[in-house]
Amino acid sequence: MRYIIVLLSLVVISCQSTEEHGHAHDQEGGHSHAGEEKPSVDYTIWTDQTELFVEFPALVVGESSRFATHFTVLDGHQPVREGTVTVSLIKGNKGIRHSVDAPSSPGIFVPSLQPKESGIYQLIFELETPAYTDRIVLNDIPIFATAEEAEKVLAGEEENGNAITFLKEQAWKMEFQTAPVLKKEVYQTIPTSGIWKVAPSDYQTLVAPATGRVSFSSGVLTEGSPVKEGQVLMTVSSTGLTSNNLGAEIQKARADYEQAKSEYERKKELYESKIVPKSEFEQVEQKYQIAKTNYETLSSGYSGGGKQVTAPIGGFIKSIQAVNGGFANQGDALVTVTSHKSSLLEVQVSPKYSAELKNIRNIWYQPKEGAWSNLNEKGGKILSVDKEVEANQPLISVFAEVNEGVEMPEGSFTEAQLAVGSAMESLVIPVSCLMEDYGNYSVIVQLSGESFERRNVTLGKRNGSEVEIIKGLSFGEVVVTKGAYQVKMASMSGQAPAHGHAH
């Protein structure tokens, strides 16, 4: 009998849930479905930091209205979880206000106001969070004398029949992001590819400072190993060698230096006493300086019977030419160190673009997988452009210095775009907005906080991560950059709730 009661309860709950179609907000700011006596209104405002979507019943003199304010942090599109919201209704120098100290649920604050006089007011929302503050002003907000007047004025407003409902609570629970349609300079581009190389100024090859056996400072020294400036990488030891023995050479140089020093000090006293001529003292001084330099050069970096090889810059091991325990002559290449502070990008282009290459304005590239950057923004520069091609090299190479860290390994390929000619101002959006369907492109436009529309667009030129829009969008409209397909699927599922806004 107990299981029958539980089963009947589930059936009742199921029936109730299928009858609910609106998504208005209850007193805690959640979506409810209560009936309405007054029409409701909603506004969506975007600032540089915040998206405000607010729903509330029409403001009537003497009647309290609750504001279901949805605050979204634009960077990451997450709900505001902590903070204070103050809503003010102001006309001239007079007004009323109400503050709430915390959201009733993540992202939703529910302040309320009771207007005292009819007229046109300013509605101001002030948000204070631990991370930042924001202030949003809505102008020309009407306060009605009666509910009947509000019903009469607002009754004619109709919603977009093609709108897709996608609730804030849905967007907050997934990877979701929006961006405004911007006006920017757009260049004609040459799509191609490039090869990452190490800039010549960013690596140094270390050579053997003496003849001898090479010993690595650590047991394992491999290409790609990180190194710090001044770190000892190797030691070259000539201990046991009958010729080119650095230890013996240092001892001899030291003896010569000490003998020359003693003679120099003795001659100096005699010269100052005017006993020896200046020319004789200068010869002794010269011999002393040569002996001193020779000894200091040989003994510099000498420790434990060998010469130390240290990293002149911090970075990574690019290549190792020596073998641990092997023999090296003085001047032989041992190891190459690179800092990777900048990189060299070689872009290859078909000779048919040779005329356009005389006027390169910028180069877009990918410093890591899926991310676009460009020379102008990062302070890079074009170094050279080949003037001719050969049978074994049929493409024209363009070399550019990239002034940022590149996460792609040396020798790897990257997509690249060369900007040429003159720029034209046009509308642009991120490429990530685009949805393709058999060669046709569309985007999801955010009409308001929880209302979206799928819009066909005509594309123009691509500049890195952005694409020109020739037709279909207007400046300032907001498009979905992440989560567009989820919004599209919500429109096809038939499960998205309709716009009932009772409070």
Residues 234 and 304 in one domain: yes
Residues 124 and 182 in one domain: no
Residue 11 lies in a domain: no
Residue 203 lies in a domain: no
pTM above 0.85, yes or no: no
Long-range contacts of 376-380 (CB under 8 A, 24+ apart): 378/402, 378/403, 378/404, 379/403, 380/342, 380/404
| CATH code, domain with 53 | 2.60.40.10
Residues 218 and 308 in one domain: yes
Q: Where are the beta strands (DSSP E) in 169-219?
A: 177-180, 182-198, 203-207, 212-216
Residues 110 and 80 in one domain: yes
Joined tokens for residue 502? 């009772």
Q: What is the DSSP letter of 393?
A: B
Q: Which of 312, 332, 349 is the last residue of a domain?
A: 312
Residues 147 and 235 in one domain: no
For each of the chain's 503 residues, which pLDDT tens digit applies? 343 333 333 333 333 333 333 355 554 455 544 444 678 899 999 999 999 999 999 999 999 999 999 999 999 999 999 999 999 999 988 999 999 999 999 999 999 999 999 999 999 999 999 999 999 999 999 999 999 999 988 876 666 667 899 999 999 999 999 999 999 999 999 999 999 987 776 778 888 887 888 888 776 778 878 888 888 888 888 776 655 655 666 677 778 778 888 888 888 888 888 888 888 888 888 888 888 887 777 667 666 567 778 888 888 888 888 888 888 888 899 888 887 667 889 999 999 998 899 899 999 999 988 899 999 999 999 999 988 888 888 899 999 988 887 888 878 999 999 999 889 999 999 999 999 988 899 999 999 999 999 999 999 999 999 999 999 999 999 999 999 999 998 877 654 444 444 43
Residues 146 and 247 in one domain: no
Residue 202 lies in a domain: no
| Other beta carbons within 10 Å of 145 | 14
Q: Which domain holds residue 278?
A: 208-312
Task: Classify 395 as helix, strand or coil.
Answer: coil
Question: Structural domain tally of the chain?
Answer: 3
Residues 6+ apart with CB under 8 A from 246: 210, 211, 212, 237, 238, 298, 302, 306, 307
> Which pLDDT does position 235 carry in this prediction?
82
Residue 200 lies in a domain: no
Q: Which of 280, 312, 344 is the last residue of a domain?
A: 312
Joined tokens for residue 13? 């709950």
| CATH code, domain with 484 | 2.40.420.20
Nearest in space to 253 (alpha carbons), one of 308, 294, 195, 204 = 294
Task: Classify 357 as helix, strand or coil.
Answer: helix
Joined tokens for residue 223? 């290409």
Helices 246-272 and 278-299: crossing angle, nearest 10°?
A: 150
Exposure string for 338-370, b = 16+ CB within 10 A, e = fewer? bbbebbbbbbbbeeeeeeebeebbbbbbbbeee
Residue 163 lies in a domain: no
Q: How far is CA 370 from the centre of its chain?
A: 11
Task: Classify 452 as helix, strand or coil.
Answer: strand
